[in-house]
Amino acid sequence: MAELREVQITEEKPLLPGQTPEVAKTHSVETPYGSVTFTVYGTPKPKRPAILTYHDVGLNYKSCFQPLFQFADMQEIIQNFVRVHVDAPGMEEGAPVFPLGYQYPSLDQLADMIPCILQYLNFSTIIGIGVGAGAYVLSRYALTHPDTVEGLVLINIDPNAKGWMDWAAHKLTGLTSSISEMILGHLFSQEELSGNSELIQKYRNIIAHAPNLDNIELYWNSYNNRRDLNFVRGGDTTLKCPVMLVVGDQAPHEDAVVECNSKLDPTQTSFLKPGKLTEAFKYFLQGMGYMASSCMTRLSRSRTASLTSAASIDGNRSRSRTLSQSSESGTLSSGPPGHTMEVSC
């Protein structure tokens, strides 16, 4: 496994008082499916997993995760973890366009590249955060390497292969729409697209004028050719770690995420919508034993009271089974019955 490139950059995010700038370091490693680039923020913390992110189609780690990771409320969480942000091959900033005929890795092969990254960094376990195609990749990785995944946050996941109806719709759309419009249709709802807000215009512009649009199309094709993850609740093919499922309001994948939720272990799975993401993530980590309740800001502690209908926050929980979903109510519960924290969606 040869290292190809290593670039050190100093991150420009606004600093909190008393904070020193974090150094971000970009690396590339060679894998059986080609090279993969990833950027590491922070320093490894003893006895803690790394947070590893995987972005969606049409984006890279920065355009996908910068808004979340630079959100003020996220700072007290992420300072406790080293973060590894993976760019799918050809999606890193300045990536050259792959030559014609290049065989882009399948999503399963993208998942198979992750052990090379962890081995290179000498990290043994992760908490994964994935969006869309990235959520699929991390789920596949967790199915094949369950002992190395302590938790997963899966945003807008569709665990199913495309059925023939989806293919027919996809082909029809392809007759009238450009690749960039099809990808926008994957990232945003029709309502959001027709609203054409500044955010939509920004992403439309980024994707339509991306110098690596041909590479993006290859990742898009791999996503559309994904196989079924075949989650079966109570079966062998299910995620063993705590999972936080997140779906956007009006997201195109809402039904798929709801169905996914029905196939995962309800004692290990939480389900929520994004307004509460940062706070829910904090409780998720806390439930795994990684955030003492004393680390929670007064603000978030007081917000908890207004968020919860039946709140009892127990900071001494065991690592597993903390945030569990009450499927029927669409609420997020923490801990065994009687120790329930609910976040209304």
Nearest residue to ligand BEZ on Cβ basis:
69
Backbone angles phi, psi at 164, to 5 degrees: -65, -30
Which C-beta is closer to ligand BEZ: that of 66 or that of 300? Answer: 66
Residue 326: strand pairing partners: 331
Q: Which residues ranging from 105 to 134 are in contact with ligand BEZ (CB under 6 A)? A: none
Element (DSSP H or E) covering residue 65: helix 61-69
Q: Shortest approach of ligand BEZ to residue 341 CB, angstroms?
A: 26
- The answer to whether residue 41 forms part of the interface with ligand BEZ (CB under 6 A) is yes
Which C-beta is closer to ligand BEZ: that of 74 or that of 258? Answer: 74
Q: How far apart are CA 174 and CA 237, in angstroms?
A: 33
| Type of residue numbered 84 | V
Which C-beta is closer to ligand BEZ: that of 78 or that of 135? Answer: 78
In the list 66, 144, 278, 326, the residue contacting ligand BEZ (rule: CB under 6 A) is 66
- Binding window for ligand BEZ (CB under 6 A); candidates: 61-69, 100-108, 195-203, 245-253: 61-69
Contact 120, 35 (CB under 8 A): no
Q: Report which of 245, 131, 130 is spatially closest to residue 187, judged by C-alpha positions.
A: 131
Give residue 132's region: left, alpha or beta (phi > 0; psi -120 to 50): left
- The answer to whether residue 141 forms part of the interface with ligand BEZ (CB under 6 A) is no
Which C-beta is closer to ligand BEZ: that of 69 or that of 141? Answer: 69
Per-residue x/- track, 72-101, ligand BEZ (CB under 6 A): ------x----x-x----------------
Query: Diameter of the chain by CA atoms?
Result: 59
Q: How far apart are the first and last CA of the chain?
A: 45
Residues within the interface to ligand BEZ (CB under 6 A): 11, 13, 41, 62, 65-66, 69-70, 78, 83, 85
